[in-house]
Amino acid sequence: MLDQALIHLGDREAAEDNPTLSYACALEPGGRIDQTENRPRRAIAVLLKAMKIRRRLLGKKDPLVSYSFNHLAEAYNAAEDVEGEVAARREAQKFSTPNA
Protein backbone atom coordinates (compact mmCIF):
# COMPACT_ATOMS: atom_id res chain seq x y z
CA MET A 1 0.00 0.00 0.00
CA LEU A 2 2.73 2.48 0.96
CA ASP A 3 4.86 1.34 -1.98
CA GLN A 4 1.95 2.04 -4.31
CA ALA A 5 1.52 5.51 -2.85
CA LEU A 6 5.21 6.29 -3.31
CA ILE A 7 5.20 4.95 -6.86
CA HIS A 8 2.13 7.04 -7.57
CA LEU A 9 4.01 10.09 -6.34
CA GLY A 10 7.00 9.12 -8.47
CA ASP A 11 9.25 9.29 -5.42
CA ARG A 12 10.03 5.67 -4.62
CA GLU A 13 13.61 5.60 -5.90
CA ALA A 14 14.43 9.00 -4.46
CA ALA A 15 12.95 8.10 -1.08
CA GLU A 16 14.84 4.81 -0.84
CA ASP A 17 18.14 6.33 -1.99
CA ASN A 18 17.93 9.32 0.34
CA PRO A 19 15.53 8.54 3.17
CA THR A 20 14.12 11.59 4.89
CA LEU A 21 12.19 12.06 8.08
CA SER A 22 9.04 12.37 5.99
CA TYR A 23 9.77 8.99 4.44
CA ALA A 24 10.23 7.44 7.89
CA CYS A 25 6.98 9.01 9.05
CA ALA A 26 5.24 7.58 5.99
CA LEU A 27 6.66 4.10 6.59
CA GLU A 28 5.50 3.75 10.17
CA PRO A 29 1.72 3.72 9.53
CA GLY A 30 2.31 1.10 6.84
CA GLY A 31 4.05 -1.08 9.41
CA ARG A 32 1.21 -0.59 11.84
CA ILE A 33 -1.27 -1.61 9.13
CA ASP A 34 0.79 -4.74 8.42
CA GLN A 35 0.62 -5.56 12.11
CA THR A 36 -3.16 -5.16 12.30
CA GLU A 37 -3.52 -7.32 9.18
CA ASN A 38 -1.61 -10.13 10.91
CA ARG A 39 1.67 -9.69 9.07
CA PRO A 40 3.95 -9.09 12.06
CA ARG A 41 7.23 -10.03 10.33
CA ARG A 42 6.59 -7.57 7.53
CA ALA A 43 5.56 -4.98 10.12
CA ILE A 44 8.83 -5.50 11.98
CA ALA A 45 10.85 -4.96 8.82
CA VAL A 46 9.01 -1.74 7.96
CA LEU A 47 9.04 -0.38 11.52
CA LEU A 48 12.72 -1.22 11.92
CA LYS A 49 13.53 0.69 8.74
CA ALA A 50 11.56 3.72 9.97
CA MET A 51 13.27 3.60 13.37
CA LYS A 52 16.75 3.43 11.82
CA ILE A 53 16.05 6.43 9.61
CA ARG A 54 14.68 8.43 12.53
CA ARG A 55 17.59 7.50 14.78
CA ARG A 56 20.12 8.45 12.11
CA LEU A 57 18.47 11.80 11.37
CA LEU A 58 17.27 12.80 14.84
CA GLY A 59 19.69 11.12 17.21
CA LYS A 60 19.20 8.45 19.82
CA LYS A 61 17.33 10.62 22.32
CA ASP A 62 14.51 12.02 20.20
CA PRO A 63 10.93 11.12 21.27
CA LEU A 64 10.05 9.97 17.74
CA VAL A 65 12.73 7.29 18.07
CA SER A 66 11.10 6.20 21.33
CA TYR A 67 7.72 5.91 19.59
CA SER A 68 9.38 3.80 16.91
CA PHE A 69 10.78 1.43 19.55
CA ASN A 70 7.35 1.15 21.19
CA HIS A 71 5.73 0.28 17.87
CA LEU A 72 8.49 -2.24 17.20
CA ALA A 73 7.89 -3.83 20.60
CA GLU A 74 4.21 -4.27 19.76
CA ALA A 75 5.09 -5.88 16.43
CA TYR A 76 7.59 -8.22 18.09
CA ASN A 77 4.87 -9.15 20.58
CA ALA A 78 2.47 -9.94 17.74
CA ALA A 79 5.19 -12.12 16.17
CA GLU A 80 5.66 -13.87 19.55
CA ASP A 81 9.31 -12.77 19.58
CA VAL A 82 9.86 -12.16 23.29
CA GLU A 83 13.55 -11.25 22.97
CA GLY A 84 12.82 -8.64 20.31
CA GLU A 85 9.96 -7.21 22.33
CA VAL A 86 12.02 -6.92 25.51
CA ALA A 87 14.95 -5.32 23.66
CA ALA A 88 12.69 -2.77 21.96
CA ARG A 89 10.90 -1.94 25.23
CA ARG A 90 14.24 -1.41 26.97
CA GLU A 91 15.32 1.01 24.27
CA ALA A 92 12.03 2.90 24.49
CA GLN A 93 12.26 3.03 28.28
CA LYS A 94 15.59 4.82 28.10
CA PHE A 95 13.68 7.92 27.02
CA SER A 96 11.71 8.07 30.26
CA THR A 97 14.64 7.26 32.53
CA PRO A 98 16.86 10.19 33.53
CA ASN A 99 20.50 9.81 32.51
CA ALA A 100 19.84 6.57 30.62
CA dihedral for 43, 46, 51, 52, sign (positive or negative): positive
Q: Is residue 47 part of a domain?
A: yes
Q: Is residue 99 part of a domain?
A: no
Q: Is residue 26 part of a domain?
A: yes
Q: Is residue 98 part of a domain?
A: no
The number of distinct structural domains making up the chain is 1
pLDDT in tens, 17-70: 567 888 888 888 999 999 999 999 999 999 999 999 999 999 888 888 999 999
pTM: 0.75
User: For residue 83, what is the domain's CATH number?
Assistant: 1.25.40.10
pLDDT at 26: 87
pLDDT at 45: 94
Q: Is residue 21 part of a domain?
A: yes
Per the structure, the complete domain to which residue 55 belongs is given by: 2-93
